[in-house]
Structure 1
Amino acid sequence: MAATHDKTPLGHESDSDEAPEVVTKQSAEQQALTLRRHEDAARAQAKAQATSKQEPKPQDEVPELPDDVLSAVAAHHEEEQQQQQEQQQQETAAQRRAKKRKQAKVAELLRRKTHTRQFGNIEVQTLDAVEDAQTRELSDSAKQFLERRTAPHRPRMNVLEGHASQFTKKQKQRSQRS
């Protein structure tokens, strides 16, 4: 028998100049799993279609409505939208009134909870709940002032050694080294 020549090229004898695609084991497993899921879903869908006893319901064709009916429906929708907008405006106004009433109630409760005590000529006003005190947010200039006052960039003195100006020359040098 004569030897036949296999016409399929070997891996290193391919016609393509491109390098073979490098696939990691993990990505190959991922691809195989997704392919298997797709095949399973397709099989299940084909089986469901084959075993389905119900025929698809024929859709009734709806005749087009005349323009006067369409305009009446559009006018009705516009009226509904206007009513909804009016209702929302009334609700927001009611919410604003309720918020103002609640603030007034809280202010009245704070006024009742506070009392003033006198120690000689010093008057002290106490609050039962400091968190409920009405405060406003600081302005930018006030925030800048507080930041400058705390001076986070300023070097602090070493508390254990004291301030350098209070000690002898040796102690000053020692405090400057650290």
Structure 2
Amino acid sequence: MATKKKIEGTETEALANPFEAVMFASKEQVEKSIAASTEALEKAFSMSKERFDAVSKSVDDAAKLGKDQVEAYVTAGNVASKGLESINAEVMSFTKTQVEDQISAAKAMMGAKTLQEFIELQSGYAKSAFEAYTAHTTKLSEVATKVAQDAFAPINAQVQAAVEKMVKPLAA
């Protein structure tokens, strides 16, 4: 003989034994608790996975940034090295030309017949040597400036890219 009773807000058919009715109600509570626990665990797992993915992406970004920085420094070093080679070649060429000009001027001065001719040759040589030196230092200054700009270009580009990566999330 079963009687209908309200248990936990639902109409159920309670068994004649009160112990069975309590067991039935307890079973419903356990099922609700399991469902709530399962939902909470799934939500927590989902949040943990999202955090793990975010951390993983951050680590990957940091590794890429480090790699990009190393590549920028290597490129800058190579450019600077080639630039210094060209500066060195320019200095060596200038020095060779100056030594040749000095020898030529010395031979001409030794062949001078008068003191006036000697002074004119020496003054002419001094003027041309000074003009050559001035032109050479101007050229070296321009080459050195270009080498410095070219060498720092990859580093500047990398710094700019890193700043943009950091500022972009903050602006959003």
Q: TM-score, normalised by structure 1?
A: 0.31
Q: TM-score, normalised by structure 2?
A: 0.32
Bigger Rg over Cα: 2
Greater relative contact order structure (CA < 8 Å, 6+ sep) = 2
Structure richer in helix, relative to its length:
2
